[in-house]
């Protein structure tokens, strides 16, 4: 045997036994998002690296430390997408979608960040996210946040919704100057990362997870106290919208988004199902971003959810993985039976009945073993006698009961039995 080759560190296989959970959460996302008028967009996994330098920001961890960048045969600098917003906006602009008025889009797919792999943190992971373009009004923010909560609660996941406003270019600069001064005075009490961020991305210091930084930051000046009137009015209206929709939230003045382009609404859904509170989904408003990426001024708001983290939560909650199993397993008793089984399976599948068979044929016991392995609901043995009679015995694999059935009309009979 040759030496085996393993997957890249931090990049996971999803085997058939686990995929059912993903299919469930994805299917529910498609269903719920459609109820709110969001339509799916699919964009490339590889984009020009410049898209992220401009659209996410050079100073962010994502671009400065975590992005996979490569030269395409000495031509372009390309990147594996680390997030979905920039690419979605690029597509929105490139195809002139803005001429059609406000748009609500969603996406799902793999993202890549070169982080240290640990539970819930991988180098290839999957995000399910949405972007809504063209509406600046707070009713959209409330509707979108309520949609996330609707989706998660249909999955039986209880989360905490944290809400904040990160201001806008009118009120943030003055606040940032004060914050920077405040942080600089306390540099000695902060971790090395925080000291570095104080200069580059001071807002990000506020959500430092290092335990010794937390108490220091508790008394930091709050942007919420310094919002300009339009930002204040917007924030109050988002809150009123959520109240009206019956969505509970916590105002979290130190909640910031890691990306530079957010304005006003910032939100995060966290869960304690994985031990420490961890972020499952993060979102916010980015009214200047479409323009930054070369489009016409277009407000927008979106979120992204980490699908691995959601799957881990569903697992921790003990939610069963939906399994698709054959309704019937056809067992061949002899050569005539084997031919009949092949033909009957084809007829059943054409009639929409999930069925399976053991293509090896052979001993009945082994075929029944296979029927159990695939968790078939019923089994039907066909041999020359059954073929001649046009009739067989349908065995319920759970109760072991056998009922005579006519082979003609079997599909209808099975569908009846399944309900
Ligand atoms: P964190 O603070 O956990 O690093 P982030 O701010 O980098 O999160 P976002 O860029 O907002 O995360 O991405 C949205 C969601 O994607 C996160 O809430 C998380 O659920 C998920 N996510 C982010 N990075 C990873 C990763 N490396 N592996 C798995 N999921 C991830
Ligand atoms: Mg991160």
Instruction: Tell me the CA–centroid distance for residue 278 and ligand 1, in Å.
Output: 10
Instruction: Tell me the CA–centroid distance for residue 102 and ligand 2, in Å.
Output: 30
Mutate to test the pocket of ligand 1, among 282, 285, 301, 307 (most ligand atoms within 8 A of CB): 282
Query: Which superfamily is assigned to 328-418 in CATH?
Result: Anticodon-binding domain (3.40.50.800)
Q: Where in the chain is the domain with CATH 3.40.50.800?
A: 328-418
Instruction: Tell me the CA–centroid distance for residue 71 and ligand 2, in Å.
Output: 24
Q: Are 216 and 179 in contact (CB under 8 A)?
A: no
- Residue 92 CB neighbour total at 10 angstroms: 23
Predicted confidence (pLDDT) per residue in 252-295, tens digit: 999 987 666 789 999 999 998 887 768 999 999 999 999 999 99
Mutate to test the pocket of ligand 1, among 66, 84, 279, 302 (most ligand atoms within 8 A of CB): 279
Distance of CA 163 to the CA centre of its chain: 20
- The whole-angstrom separation of Cα 190 and Cα 205 is 9
The predicted model scores a pTM of 0.92
**Going by DSSP bridges, is the β-strand pair 250-251/160-165 parallel, antiparallel, or unpaired?**
parallel
Token output for 128: 């399910």
Distance of CA 265 to the CA centre of its chain: 21
Q: Are 295 and 103 in contact (CB under 8 A)?
A: no
- The whole-angstrom separation of Cα 387 and Cα 158 is 54
The residue whose CA is least distant from atom 3 of ligand 1 is 279
Q: Where in the chain is the domain with CATH 3.30.930.10?
A: 16-170+227-316
129, 131, 132, 133 alpha-carbon torsion, rounded to 10°: 180
| Atom in ligand 1 nearest the alpha carbon of residue 280 | 20
Q: Is 109 left (phi over 0), alpha (psi -120 to 50) or beta?
A: left
Q: Does domain 16-170+227-316 have CATH number 3.20.20.70?
A: no
Instruction: Tell me the CA–centroid distance for residue 111 and ligand 2, in Å.
Output: 12
In this prediction, the residues of the chain whose per-residue pLDDT falls under 50 are: none
Please report the pLDDT score of residue 277 as a whole number.
66
134, 175, 56, 37 alpha-carbon torsion, rounded to 10°: -30
Token output for 408: 């003609």
3-class DSSP state of 396: strand
* 307 Cβ closer than 6 Å to some ligand 1 atom: no
């Amino acid at each position: 045997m040759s030496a085996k080759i393993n997957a890249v560190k931090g990049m996971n296989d999803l085997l058939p036994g686990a995929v059912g959970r993903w299919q469930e959460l994805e299917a529910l996302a498609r269903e719920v998002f459609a109820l709110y008028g969001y339509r799916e967009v699919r964009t490339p996994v590889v984009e020009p690296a410049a898209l992220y330098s401009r659209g996410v920001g050079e100073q962010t961890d994502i671009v400065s430390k975590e992005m996979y960048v490569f030269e395409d045969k000495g031509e372009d600098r390309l990147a594996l997408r680390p997030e979905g917003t920039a690419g979605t906006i690029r597509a929105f602009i490139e195809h002139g979608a803005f001429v059609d008025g406000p748009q609500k889009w969603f996406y799902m797919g793999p993202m890549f960040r070169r982080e240290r792999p640990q539970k819930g943190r991988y180098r290839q992971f999957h995000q399910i996210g949405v972007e809504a373009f063209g509406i600046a009004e707070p009713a959209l923010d409330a509707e979108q946040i309520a949609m996330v909560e609707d989706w998660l609660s249909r999955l039986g996941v209880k989360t905490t919704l944290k809400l904040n406003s990160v201001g806008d270019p009118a009120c943030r600069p003055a606040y940032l100057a004060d914050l920077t001064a405040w942080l600089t005075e306390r540099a000695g009490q902060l971790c090395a990362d925080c000291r570095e961020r104080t200069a580059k991305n001071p807002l990000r210091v506020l959500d430092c997870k290092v335990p010794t930084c937390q108490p220091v930051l508790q008394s930091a000046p709050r942007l919420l106290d310094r919002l300009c009137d339009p930002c204040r009015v917007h924030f109050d209206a988002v809150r009123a919208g959520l109240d009206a929709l019956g969505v509970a939230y916590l105002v979290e003045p130190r909640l910031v988004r890691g990306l530079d382009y957010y304005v006003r609404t910032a939100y995060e859904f966290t869960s304690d199902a994985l031990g420490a509170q961890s972020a499952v989904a993060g979102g916010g408003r980015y009214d200047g971003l479409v323009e930054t990426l070369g489009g016409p001024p277009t407000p927008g708001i979106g979120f992204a959810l980490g699908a691995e983290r959601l799957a881990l939560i569903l697992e921790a909650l003990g939610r069963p993985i939906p399994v698709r199993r054959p309704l019937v397993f056809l067992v061949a008793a002899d050569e005539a039976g084997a031919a009949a089984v092949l033909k009957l399976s084809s007829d059943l599948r054409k009639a929409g009945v999930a069925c399976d068979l053991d293509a090896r044929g052979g001993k009945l016991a082994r075929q029944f073993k296979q029927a159990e392995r695939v968790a078939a609901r019923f089994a039907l043995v066909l041999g020359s006698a059954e073929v001649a009679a046009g009739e067989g015995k349908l065995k319920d694999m759970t109760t072991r009961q056998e009922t005579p059935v006519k082979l003609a009309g079997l599909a209808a009979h099975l569908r009846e039995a399944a309900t």
